[in-house]
Amino acid sequence: MDLSMSDVRLARGLAKIREIHGEAGIEVLKSLEAASPELARFTVEFAFGDVYRGGALTTQQQQIATIAALVVLGHAQPQLRVHIRGALNVGCTRAQVMQVIVQMAVYGGFPAALNAAFTAKSLFDELDRES
Amino acid sequence: MDLSMSDVRLARGLAKIREIHGEAGIEVLKSLEAASPELARFTVEFAFGDVYRGGALTTQQQQIATIAALVVLGHAQPQLRVHIRGALNVGCTRAQVMQVIVQMAVYGGFPAALNAAFTAKSLFDELDRES
Amino acid sequence: MDLSMSDVRLARGLAKIREIHGEAGIEVLKSLEAASPELARFTVEFAFGDVYRGGALTTQQQQIATIAALVVLGHAQPQLRVHIRGALNVGCTRAQVMQVIVQMAVYGGFPAALNAAFTAKSLFDELDRES
Amino acid sequence: MDLSMSDVRLARGLAKIREIHGEAGIEVLKSLEAASPELARFTVEFAFGDVYRGGALTTQQQQIATIAALVVLGHAQPQLRVHIRGALNVGCTRAQVMQVIVQMAVYGGFPAALNAAFTAKSLFDELDRES
Amino acid sequence: MDLSMSDVRLARGLAKIREIHGEAGIEVLKSLEAASPELARFTVEFAFGDVYRGGALTTQQQQIATIAALVVLGHAQPQLRVHIRGALNVGCTRAQVMQVIVQMAVYGGFPAALNAAFTAKSLFDELDRES
Amino acid sequence: MDLSMSDVRLARGLAKIREIHGEAGIEVLKSLEAASPELARFTVEFAFGDVYRGGALTTQQQQIATIAALVVLGHAQPQLRVHIRGALNVGCTRAQVMQVIVQMAVYGGFPAALNAAFTAKSLFDELDRES
């Protein structure tokens, strides 16, 4: 993927990644590109360039939906961590993030919620050490 | 479950069910009570009385999180239908509901999103016929 | 699959199916055989002939484990129904079956538990009508 | 979605849908479009236009992978049925389809494999009646 | 969560945690409380105080059901480890635990069963070193 | 498990493991045998001795189906790694493996595909260092 490629969807996707995840998101993307340039391109163009384009949902509502999904999936801890940080970046509070996680105990079960709560706590601690 | 029982959590849960799901929610509850009074009581007291009590999330945000989770689970079409209606009841728009569903194609895959979109469409059509 | 075939594992599996599920189990098996003789043979020989052979668990404990798994999987309502009936056949009570289902709300979430409770209730009602 | 819209990805996606699923695929697409035009467009452009574009895998290998995934997901019977028909359309045999399903008993468990085998059988019977 | 709080459900839940998991369970709980006091409270009050209260199932049967569910979920290795130890604490044998895991190969697939068997083995080895 | 035991299914299973996974597969098997001799035996006899016996699918097609399933399951990274290596052993290319993974973004969601792509990349890097 040529990051300077002049493609509307790609540019829109990269802008959305920067808005939600900041430079950390671009780092994850580069690491994905090393594994599969095609999957990296689809992530930027489709997930961030098309789907997150939205219109009906605010960016905060989008992150709440994504966190809920990642908690319930159970096997997506790296993505959950990235999106919790993204949720905080776009203005969600830690209390809101944790409440989504707690709510998921009802839908995905307690083990999924507990593992997510530990992931969130570990990120919050890291953010506290950074600041 | 004695629906008139004077218990704080039970009363709080029933009020929350009425707020989100209206009398249709109480009907579902009665049918659950016929299957398992214990599970019905836990649904009211714990899910609606404790978890949805919230504080950090608005009722709309809670419904967005729940719909995201139910789409991704894939096997929860009856609950998805009930919660889409609940989301509309508390002020989410149809466009917002559908956008959460579309967003879930990224996290839970297209089949889960497609089945959810058909469930939402079928509910929207029913609501149109009712009105 | 020649049901009269003199094979130890096959005979052991068929005996186990009859013990747990009765003639209803043989009917399910025949219908599976019409779809895939190979899968039918593996179900008898491996699942029932090998795995359920057990030794450490009682037949009741095996059915409790299977029901728990089927509730949590969420997409296996036909198998759940068959195994709830099997659990009753080998001496589990309806109260025990329902308690396993309720317990699964903690591990697989409330939607999975609710759908399972409705499946169990529908079977219990059918059994009441039959008797 | 304007089906005549001159967009490369859209055209490529529609051609791929016709190649794999024939006119039946276009029918499913129209019904999806009635539920969510956005999700219909993403299905054509992204899933069929981008992902299935492939290069390294043959169309038969792609269908084998998709069927395996749909069996294991468990909650995607409508998509499984559509893709089994698609697999037959592109030259896979019924025996190959059924063997993928049986193999999935090892990875997704017997209930998922059994439900898939019944779905396949029901489609095969329908195809036999049609011919 | 004030661990000395005089609440019937909380006290009942803590007693159940001590019965099943011993002081190790209280340690996990404290660590969860540091991440989310609310989720910790719900775990004690609801999961252990309400659901495990049971009546129809023995504590051993409850642990068998929980282990089956955790194996099949696949993403809950930390909880699986804790509950295997709990199962041994309440009188289940290692052979029974392993047989539940093996049985789950039929319902959740071999990968879930294999990962669970390795988790159980690692715990058994640790217990052998401790004794 | 007595590896020299003269049993047709066992011998056939071990030969299939050696064909797909080489001596590395036998090592995994020994480690599984230390955890559960019964599960090790079932893996050899049933999964490799019976199911992979096939007839309708080539060994490459079988590996493609298995990789698709393991990506979508999400919680089976160790097995995914083993089977990607197996796919390469039986003649699949790295490009084919990665394309199956990318295709799974459509069916199991992007998080499952991303985690699988990183697992594949880590294996490819290891193989490059070995050679």
Q: What distance in Å separates residue F67's CA from the closest CA in chain D?
A: 8
Cα F68 to its chain centre, rounded Å, is 11
Q: E75: which chain A residues are within 8 Å (Cβ-Cβ)?
A: 73-75, 111-112, 115
Total Cβ atoms within 10 A of residue B6? 7
Structure tokens at E111: 């990968």
Under an 8 A CB cutoff, do B35 and C111 touch?
Answer: no
Nearest of C97, C12, C34, C32 to residue C60 by alpha carbon: C97
Summarize pLDDT for F34-60 with one digit per residue, the tens. Answer: 999 999 999 999 999 999 997 899 999
Task: Output the DSSP codes for chain E.
Answer: --TT---HHHHHHHHHHHHHHHHHHHHHHHHHHHH-HHHHHHIIIIIIIIGGG-SSS-HHHHHHHHHHHHHHH-S-HHHHHHHHHHHHHTT--HHHHHHHHHHHHHHH-HHHHHHHHHHHHHHHHHHHHH-
Residue of chain D whose alpha carbon sits nearest to that of B104: D39
SS3 of chain F: helix, strand, coil, percent, to 5: 85, 0, 15
Q: What is the mean pLDDT of residues D76-105?
A: 98
Query: Which residues of chain F lie closer than 8 angstroms to C50, CB-CB?
Result: 42, 46
pLDDT at B7 over 50: yes
Number of Cβ within a 10 Å radius of residue D27 = 11
Q: Which residue has the tokens 């790694």?
A: F81
The rounded percent of chain F whose pLDDT value lies above 70 is 95
pLDDT at residue E7, rounded to an integer = 82
pLDDT higher than threshold 50 for residue A6: no
Considering only CB atoms, which chain A residues are within 8 Å of F73?
Answer: 75
Average pLDDT value for chain C: 94
pLDDT of residue C7: 82
Say yes or no for a CB contact (<8 Å) between F117 and A36: yes
How far off is chain B from F72, nearest CA to CA, in Å? 9
Give E43's contacts in chain A (Cβ within 8 Å): 110, 114
Cβ A14 vs Cβ A44: under 8 Å = yes
Specify the 3-state DSSP secondary structure of D103.
helix
pLDDT at B1 over 70: no
Mean pLDDT for A1-29 is 83
Between chains, do F65 and D62 touch, taking CB under 8 Å as contact?
A: no
Query: Burial code of A16-36, b = ≥16 C-beta within 10 A, e = fewer?
Result: bbeebbeeebeebbeebbebb
pLDDT in tens, A79-107: 999 999 999 999 999 999 999 999 999 99
CA angle C107, E119, E110 (to 5 degrees): 75
> How does residue C28 score in pLDDT terms, banded at 50, 70 and 90?
very high
Summarised one tens digit per residue, pLDDT across range F97-107 is: 999 999 999 99
Rounded Cα distance, B99 and B93, in Å: 10
Residue F17 has pLDDT above 90, yes or no: yes
Q: Show residues of chain F in contact with E102, CB under 8 Å.
A: 36, 38-39, 42
Per-residue pLDDT tens over the stretch A18-71: 999 999 899 999 999 999 999 999 999 999 999 999 789 999 999 999 999 999
Name the stretches of chain E with pLDDT < 50: 1-6
CB F71 within 8 A of CB F80: yes
Q: Name the pLDDT band for B6 (thresholds 50, 70, 90).
A: very low
Q: Domains in chain B, start-ordered, CATH in brackets?
A: 1-53 (no CATH), 56-131 (1.20.1290.10)
For residue C51, what is the DSSP state? G
Determine the residue among E73, E110, E115 to mutate to test chain D binding: the one whose Cβ has the most chain D Cβ atoms within 10 Å: E110
* pLDDT at residue E3, as a whole number: 45
- pLDDT at residue number C55: 86
Closest CA to B67 of B46, B51, B88, B53: B88
Output the CA torsion sign for B17, B23, B25, B26.
positive
Model pLDDT, residue F55: 87
Cα diameter, chain B:
46
Query: What integer pLDDT is reported at residue A2 of this predicted model?
Result: 45
**How far is A126 from chain E, CA to nearest CA, in Å?**
13
Percent of chain D with pLDDT over 90: 89
Which of chain A's residues have a Cβ under 8 Å away from the Cβ of C108?
108-109
Residue B109 pLDDT > 50: yes
C102 or B6, greater pLDDT: C102
Closest in E72, E106, E110 to D107, CB measured: E110
Contact C112, A111 (CB under 8 A): no
Per-residue pLDDT, F54: 75
Tally C-beta pairs within 8 A across C and E.
98
How many other β-carbons are positioned within 10 Å of the β-carbon of residue F114? 23
Question: pLDDT, tens digit, for every residue of C53-83?
Answer: 978 999 999 999 999 999 999 999 999 999 9
DSSP secondary structure letters along B38-89: HHHHHIIIIIIIIGGG-SSS-HHHHHHHHHHHHHHH-S-HHHHHHHHHHHHH
What pLDDT, on the 0 to 100 scale, is given for residue C3?
A: 45
Q: Is the pLDDT of residue D2 over 90?
A: no
The reported pLDDT for the residue numbered C4 is 40
Q: In the structure encoding, which two tokens stand for residue A114, read together? A: 């507990």
Among C71, C107, C110, most E C-beta atoms within 10 A, so best to mutate, is C107
pLDDT of residue F94: 98
So what's the pLDDT on residue C6?
A: 46
Write out pLDDT tens, residues D53-80.
978 999 999 999 999 999 999 999 999 9
Alpha helices in F36-91 (DSSP H): 37-42, 59-73, 77-89
How would you classify residue D122: left for phi > 0, otherwise alpha for psi between -120 and 50, otherwise beta?
Answer: alpha
Assess whether pLDDT exceeds 70 at residue B5.
no
Q: Do A57 and B99 touch (CB under 8 A)?
A: yes
Q: Is the pLDDT of residue F113 over 90?
A: yes
pLDDT of res. F12: 94
How much is the pLDDT for A131?
83
Residue D1 has a pLDDT of: 43
